[in-house]
Amino acid sequence: MAAGEGVLVVGAGVVGASVAYHLTRLGHERVTVLDSRGPDTLPGSTGLAPGFVGQLSATPELAVLAKDSVATYRALSAAADEPAFWQVGCLEVATTEERLAQAHQDVEHGRGLGIEARVLDAAEAVALAPALVDAERALGALHIPSDGAADPVGLTRLLVAAAESAGARFRWRTPVQALEADRGRLVGVRTGATGELLRADRVVLATGIWGPVLAAGVGVRLPMVDVQHPYVFTAERPELDDTPVDAPIVRYPDHAVYTRRHGRRYGLGSYAHRPLPWEPAAIRDSAELPFREADFGSALAEARRLVPAFRQASPGRRLNGVFALTPDELPLVGPVSAVPGLWVAEASWVTHAAGVGRQLAAMLLEAGSPAVDPGRLAPGRFDHWSDRKVRETALGHYQGIYDAH
């Protein structure tokens, strides 16, 4: 790609901001990012993300992207007046002998990926996170010291500020209504109520769960399924202050539960419920749906009994957020071969967002070798699959994605 050509990024959440950040880091200044929201609000998926950043994965590509993300988040936070990432570590609590044995295998697996980990006994795990580790059920825990907790909104603002200072332009309150193609090639996007055409040599779709809606307008199917997911908080606790997080993030793989501190509250999520797909018919600002007790109540009740901090705490905010799954749990990163000029950075979590941004920027600018084999993340890798197979396979990973991520 020639140095003078422009790149237009649709979506200023954590992924879109990361793409802009890494493009400017590679010296490309002609970057414009569009978002329907204002700079002070991020009610999309980024604004709902719980901020868990875990690197160890059964899928090597995800581990590479997560390690890359941690490095970026650490650097951004170190240079900021208010950090947005805290390397507090992660505990994978074993409540069965089988999971404890798996933890020892994960130490070796992590070593092969360049991720340090060790197995703690139950007392050591409780000492690191007494409010979150069930002392009666824990047999031990896998400890990954380099994992961390993020403030996704804060991280996005740091990425935006760094990209802007390097020349990127962010156009807020500019909703994209449609992608515009001419003779099979993408030439720009239609924005606002008037449908103004904004032209660009390359358009990067980084709109998360709404990516398929826009892509379908130019005849492109993105192989991802939007799925609902619950996350709940306690009410503010009198023993807690405004410290964002002071203990490891904690996961219970045997129960598909994860939990962390959020300042004066604790938060908890669970995958132990039937997958609930959602199909957006149009672009909207929020990725939050109504919280239905019938869908999540029993799973969250069990999760609350598992985590000490939730057993006696008054309930706080309840979220039903939406994120995207793919059939192999990997994000969609790269060019769309059927429509030249269209690139995507979709189906990525905060955990991998900075790595995805770097991957796409390197590919767009042909700047060295991408960290991950582009074929493994190619948006068209499921083109030969039926819609039904994409959907059923992706939803089948809903609970399993817990281990992969």
In this structure, are residues 233 and 40 in contact, taking their beta carbons and an 8 Å threshold?
no
pLDDT for res 2: 38
pLDDT bracket for residue 282 (50, 70, 90): low
Summarize the confidence of residues 261-290 as an average pLDDT: 88
Q: What is the mean pLDDT of residues 220-247?
A: 96
pLDDT band at 399 (very low <50, low <70, confident <90, very high): low
Calculate what percentage of the chain has a pLDDT beyond 70. Answer: 95
pLDDT value of residue 254: 93
Beta strands in 249-352 (DSSP E): 249-252, 257-262, 265-270, 315-325, 332-335, 342-346
Quick one: pLDDT at residue 43? 55
Question: Which pair of structure tokens corresponds to residue 205?
Answer: 């779709």
Q: Rounded to two decimals, what is the model's pTM?
A: 0.94
For residues 118-140, average pLDDT: 97
Q: How are beta strands 176-182 and 185-191 bridged, if at all?
A: antiparallel
Q: What is the mean pLDDT of the chain?
A: 93
> What pLDDT does residue 4 have?
37
Query: Which residues are CB-neighbours of 91 under 8 A, at least 6 positions away?
Result: 120, 125, 128, 129, 132, 133, 141, 142, 143, 248, 249, 250, 251
Query: Band of the pLDDT at 44, cuts 50, 70, 90?
Result: low
Q: Is the per-residue pLDDT at 120 higher than 60?
A: yes
Position 86 pLDDT exceeds 70: yes
Tell me, letter by letter, the H, E, C secondary structure of 166-215. Answer: CCCEEECCCCEEEEEEECCEEEEEEECCCCEEEECCEEEECCHHHHHHHH
Residue 5 has pLDDT above 60, yes or no: no
Question: Can you give the pLDDT at residue 342?
Answer: 98
Give start and end residues of each alpha helix (H) in 58-198.
Answer: 60-78, 97-113, 122-128, 152-165
Question: Would you state the pLDDT for residue 41?
Answer: 72
* pLDDT: which is higher, 115 or 47: 115
Give the separation between CA 132 and CA 368, rounded to whole angstroms. Answer: 43
- Compute the average pLDDT of residues 318-326: 93
- Reduced to 3 states (helix: H, G, I; strand: E, B; else coil), residue 12 is coil
348, pLDDT greater than 60: yes
What average pLDDT does the segment 41-62 reach?
Answer: 85
Closest CA to 7 of 331, 356, 335: 335
Which of 94-98, 148-152, 232-236, 366-370 comes out lowest in average pLDDT? 366-370
pLDDT surpassing 50 at residue 122: yes
What span, in angstroms and rounded, lies between the C-alpha atoms of 270 and 293?
Answer: 13
